[in-house]
Amino acid sequence: MDSSGIAIVTGASSGLGEAFARELAGAAAGTARYGGLPAFDELWLVARRADRLDSLAAELCRAAPGLTVRAVATDLVAAGAIESLAAKAAETGKPLRVVVNNAGYGTYGNLDETDTDRLLGQVDLNCRALTECCARFSPLLASGSVVINVASLAAFAPLGGFAAYAASKAYALSLSVGLSAEWKARGVSVCALCPGPVATEFSLVASGGARKEVKHGWPAEKTARACLRDAIAGAWISMPRPVWRLRRLAGWLAGPELSASFAYRFMKRPSAPSGTAAGDEREGAER
C-alpha cells in the first residue's frame, strides 16, 4: 500500500485524543506495533487549544522523524469549520487513512438545573459535528481506512442526572454501527469506542470544576491502544475492559427504566453551576 496518507485526531489537546495521537505517532515511527494499521505520512491534530496542540505536535515530530505533524486549531462547531478541514485534506491529494472522531464533552446534573447553552453545545459537538465529520471525510476515505468514533458506556442505557450526555453518546454509537454496515463494502472499518471511566479531564468540565478527576479512571493510553487494535481487527464496538462489558450487560438486563432510575438515585455526580462555560473540547468518556 502507498505510504502516503493522513491520520486525523479531533479533540487532540488532552486525554484520549492526545493518547490516540501518541499511539499513531508511535506506529508511524515503528515504536508501536499495530499489524494491519494503514500507513500514513501526515498526522493532523485538531482541537481549540492552539498552545497545547503546538507543544504536542513539536514533541511528536521529534519522536517520529519523517512524519509530518500538523496542529490545526479550530472549533468544530463553528460554521464551516469541518467543511474547511475536509477541503484542506482534499487539497493534499492524499487519502484519509485513519480518522479518530474524539472531540466531545458532557454535563453532570439534572437537565432543568443545567445551563441550556451547555446542553445544546454538547449535543452540537457530540452529535452534529460528529455526523458532519463522517459525511465530509467520507469521500476522502480509501479502502483499508479506519474510522474510530468515541462514544461511551453511557450509550447503552438512559441515565438520570446525565440524560443529555447519555443520549448524545447513544446517537454516536448508533451512527457508528450503522456506518459500519454501510461502509463495509468499501473496505472502510468503523469502530465505536465505548469506554467506562477513563483518566482524562472529562469530570473537570462535566462538573464545572466541582470534580477534578474521573473516579477509578483507566489510563487513556491503554484505552487508545486497545481500541486501535480492536478497530484494526474489524470490531464494530470496542470495550477493552471486561468490567465495562459486564456493566453493558447489566444495563441491558435491567432495561432503560430501571437503568435511568438507578443512575439518578445512586450515581449522583456533582453538577456544573448554571451559567458555567463549556470550555474547550475534552476527551474521554465516563458513565
Other residues' Cβ atoms within 10 Å of the Cβ of residue 186: 13
pLDDT digits 0-9 by tens, 29-84:
998 889 999 999 999 999 999 999 999 999 999 999 999 999 999 999 999 999 99
Instruction: Determine the Cα–Cα distance for residues 153 and 128; give it in Å rounded to an integer.
Output: 20
Using CA atoms, how far apart are residues 248 and 42, in angstroms rounded to an integer?
A: 36
Q: Hey, CA dihedral for 163, 169, 175, 181, is it positive or negative?
A: negative
Residue 26: closest CA among 40, 16, 15, 12: 40
- Beta strand 141-150 pairing with 96-101: parallel
Please report the beta strands in 181-260, taking only residues with DSSP state E, as ranges in sequence order.
189-193, 237-238
Output the CA–CA distances (angstroms, integers) from residue 17 to 8, 80, 268, in the order listed. Answer: 10, 22, 27
Q: Which residue, 129, 108, 113, is CA-closest to 47?
A: 129
- For 184-201, the pLDDT digits (tens) are 999 999 999 999 999 876
Phi-psi region of 15 (alpha: psi -120 to 50; beta: other; left: phi over 0): left
pLDDT tens, position by position, 113-124: 999 999 999 999
Q: What is the pTM of this model?
A: 0.92
Confidence (pLDDT) at 287: 35
pLDDT tens profile 261-286: 999 998 887 775 555 444 444 444 43
Residues 122 and 220: their CA atoms lie apart, in Å, by 21
- Paired with 248 in beta bridges are none
Q: Which residue ranges form the domains of the chain, and what is each CATH number? A: 6-266 (3.40.50.720)
Taking the CA atoms of residue 134, residue 168, residue 149 and residue 133 in that order, the dihedral angle to the nearest 10 degrees is 20
Contacts of 2 (CB under 8 A, 6+ apart): 39
CA angle 43, 51, 77 (to 5 degrees): 70
- Which residues belong to the active site? 165
